[in-house]
Chains A and B, each alone.
Chain A
Amino acid sequence: MITILLFAGMKEAAGTDKLTMDREQVSVAEVRQFVKETYPAIPGTERAMAAVNEEFVPDQELIRDGDTIAFIPPVSGG
């Protein structure tokens, strides 16, 4: 099981902060597509960065069962 975390505007538009995907191995790009298809109304799914286990990763990165992937919309701290 892969855990997908959503934040800020993405979380609000989805109405949830967490999704799961029952796969052994999947690319970040495939997870992004899954989020887009599950919640077509979420803004900025293409543009959000992805972080796997709390580190930024490119779209071709493979993730495995047990991993957590977070989509990071443009940040605005400070």
Chain B
Amino acid sequence: MEQKRYRVTEEPLDSTAIIQRVTDKNAGAVTVFIGTVREMTKGKRTLSLTYEAYVPMAEKKLAQIGAEIEEKWPRTIIAIEHRIGALAISDAAVVIAVSSPHRDASFKGSRYAIERIKEIVPIWKKEHWDDGSSWIGDQLETTAYDEGAPKEGET
């Protein structure tokens, strides 16, 4: 049975399993990006995070990002998993694996994927601090939301 390459899950992420999904005999490179939960942000201490997603749409949008990467960098293979629910400091929130025949496409595809996730994938995080909590939005500080949907292919 083929494993899904784009997934939102409440389970801890298994980077080895995600790498296996992009392993290919024609690949000469695999990059793995792991986004982890950071304790200190601008002097504020995070105790834990809660991620929430619109799961079916989030998985569709992750797959869309993968398709965009395949189009920009032909012969790449992509797998992306995002964790939701309660996460502790240093837990992996997202794992992106990209394989390609030559290393340049893997590096670029990986960078592209994480930036796009922060634009179009309906996943939100709530920060729990020692003095309160808040939903964090618009990390890119863009104005794209005022114009409706993000532009297709925007980098």
Known A5-B54, A8-B52; contact A73-B137, beta-carbon cutoff 8 A: yes
**Bound: A47/B148 CA distance, A:** 8
Size of interface on A: residues with Cβ below 8 Å to B:
25
Question: Which 7 pairs across A and B sit closest by C-beta, in order of nearness?
Answer: A77-B123, A74-B137, A56-B149, A74-B138, A8-B124, A9-B135, A54-B57
Q: Is the interface of B mostly helix, strand, loop or mixed?
A: mixed
Which residues of A are found within 8 Å of B114, using beta-carbon distances? 78
Interface residues in B96-110 by Cβ distance below 8 A to A read none
Measured CB to CB, the closest approach of chain A to B27, in angstroms, equals: 24
**Bound: A44/B35 CA distance, A:** 27
Which residues of B are found within 8 Å of A58, using beta-carbon distances? 148-149
Contact of B47 with A by CB under 8 A: no
Contact of A26 with B by CB under 8 A: no
Interface residues in B114-149 by Cβ distance below 8 A to A read 114, 117-126, 135-139, 145-146, 148-149
| Contact (Cβ within 8 A) B82 A73 | no
Please give me the residue from chain B that is nearest to A13 by CB atom.
B135
| Contact (Cβ within 8 A) B124 A59 | no
Measured CB to CB, the closest approach of chain A to B6, in angstroms, equals: 13
**Bound: A47/B60 CA distance, A:** 22
Please give me the residue from chain A that is nearest to B58 by CB atom.
A77
In the complex, besides A56-B148, A76-B118, A76-B139, 10 extra interface pairs with C-beta distance below 8 angstroms are A8-B52, A8-B124, A49-B145, A49-B150, A56-B150, A70-B122, A73-B124, A74-B138, A76-B136, A78-B118
| Contact (Cβ within 8 A) B150 A47 | no
| Contact (Cβ within 8 A) B135 A77 | no
Which residues of B are found within 8 Å of A5, using beta-carbon distances? 54
| Contact (Cβ within 8 A) B94 A47 | no
Interface residues in B35-66 by Cβ distance below 8 A to A read 35, 51-54, 56-58, 60
| Contact (Cβ within 8 A) A76 B148 | no
Contact of A67 with B by CB under 8 A: no
Contact of A24 with B by CB under 8 A: no
Please give me the residue from chain A that is nearest to B147 by CB atom.
A58
| Contact (Cβ within 8 A) B135 A49 | no
